[in-house]
């Protein structure tokens, strides 16, 4: 895991996973050091990750006041309960549906939850965080937000793309890729993570990009992409092409058997 600053008061807590045949998927959480500090998502749910320890190098967890859960998938919730224990004054910002999904594994304490829907805002003391539904998403509970002080958009999974290396996934910037490489990565991710984009009305979908284009954030932060600075218009152009891109088809059993044959019993490639 790597931590680095974006702008004056936002820190990336960066991690990644290697997906064979796809690349290295960034898995980012964020710390917004507002007057009432906000943690955005809490990392991977893997035993070898210690989100709370990494977070403690950025901020004293006891000072955290809000945990914005962009949606309750396991790559966003890894450290949430440890953080709730370490941050006794923090509340989890989510939706009614997000709260309900969490109860299928381990319920969030109801007195620690704050329901916020797209179109509503959260005052964190020195700025407003304006909730919105990103154009692409893989969970109906997804809610991103726009920070009206820094002009940073927190887009959850929207705009994601696999990177060619773990180093770039965890410590790079989206602009490190050539424009055509970034476009290909983002279209691949769009078809993997939001396959519904191929069956909706393309014009209605493209109209959903307009509010974000009008907001014109200076920086876009995504769970699955390195920070993107002054790239919003170009990336929205990529998203507009998603309905026309080729649907992604994953490996079948024949491909799985070929993968298994390429590894020794101990897990090392032959």
CATH number at residue 55: 3.60.15.10
pLDDT score of 187:
98
Tell me: pLDDT of 269 over 60: no
Domain count, the chain: 1
Q: How far apart are CA 136 and CA 78, in angstroms?
A: 22
- Residue 149's contacts (CB-CB under 8 Å, 6 or more residues apart) are 34, 126, 127, 128
| In a domain? residue 196 | yes
Q: What mean pLDDT do residues 43-61 have?
A: 96
* Integer Cα distance of 2 and 167 in angstroms: 9
**Average pLDDT, stretch 212-241?**
97
The average pLDDT across 5-9 equals 92
Q: How confident is the model at residue 266 (pLDDT cuts 50, 70, 90)?
A: low
> Cα(156)–Cα(88) distance, rounded to whole angstroms?
25
Q: Supply the pLDDT for residue 270.
A: 43
Give a yes or no: residue 267 inside a domain.
no
- How far is residue 264's CA from residue 10's CA, in Å, rounded to a whole number? 43
Q: How far is CA 130 from the centre of its chain?
A: 17
**What does the pLDDT look like over 68-92, one tens digit per residue?**
999 999 999 999 999 999 999 999 9
Q: Taking 70 as the threshold, does the pLDDT of residue 264 lie above it?
A: no
The answer to whether position 270 is within a domain reads no
Q: Is the dihedral of CA 226, 228, 234, 237 positive or negative?
A: positive
Domain assignment present for 135: yes
Q: Residue 266 falls within a domain, yes or no?
A: no
In this structure, is residue 269 part of a structural domain? no
Residue 111: domain span: 2-261
Does 257 map to a domain? yes
Domain presence at residue 23: yes
Question: Which range has the worst mean pLDDT, 10-19, 110-119, 253-262?
Answer: 253-262
* pTM, 2 dp: 0.94
């Amino acid at each position: 895991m790597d931590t680095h600053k974006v702008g004056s008061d936002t820190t990336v807590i960066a991690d990644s996973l290697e997906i064979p045949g796809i690349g290295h998927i960034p898995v980012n959480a964020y710390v917004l050091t507002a007057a009432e500090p906000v943690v955005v998502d809490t990392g991977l749910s893997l035993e070898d990750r210690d989100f709370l320890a990494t977070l403690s190098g950025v901020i004293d967890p006891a000072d955290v006041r809000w945990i914005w859960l962009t949606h309750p998938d396991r790559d966003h919730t890894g450290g949430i309960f440890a953080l709730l224990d370490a941050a006794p004054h923090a509340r989890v910002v989510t939706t009614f549906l997000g709260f309900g999904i969490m109860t299928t594994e381990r319920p969030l304490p109801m007195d620690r939850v704050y329901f916020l829907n797209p179109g509503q805002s959260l005052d964190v003391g020195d700025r407003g965080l304006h909730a919105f539904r990103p154009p692409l998403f893989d969970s109906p509970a997804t809610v991103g937000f726009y920070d009206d002080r820094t002009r940073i958009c927190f887009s959850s999974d929207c705009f994601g793309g696999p990177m060619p290396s773990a180093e770039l996934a965890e410590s790079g910037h989206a602009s490190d890729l050539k424009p055509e490489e970034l476009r290909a990565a983002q279209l691949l991710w769009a078809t993997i993570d939001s396959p519904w984009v191929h069956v909706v009305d393309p014009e209605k979908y493209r109209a959903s990009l307009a509010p974000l284009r009008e907001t014109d954030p200076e920086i876009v932060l995504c769970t699955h992409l390195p920070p993107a600075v002054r790239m919003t218009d170009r990336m929205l152009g990529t998203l507009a092409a998603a309905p026309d891109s080729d649907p992604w088809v994953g490996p079948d059993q024949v491909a799985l058997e070929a993968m298994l044959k390429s590894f020794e019993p101990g897990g090392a490639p032959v």
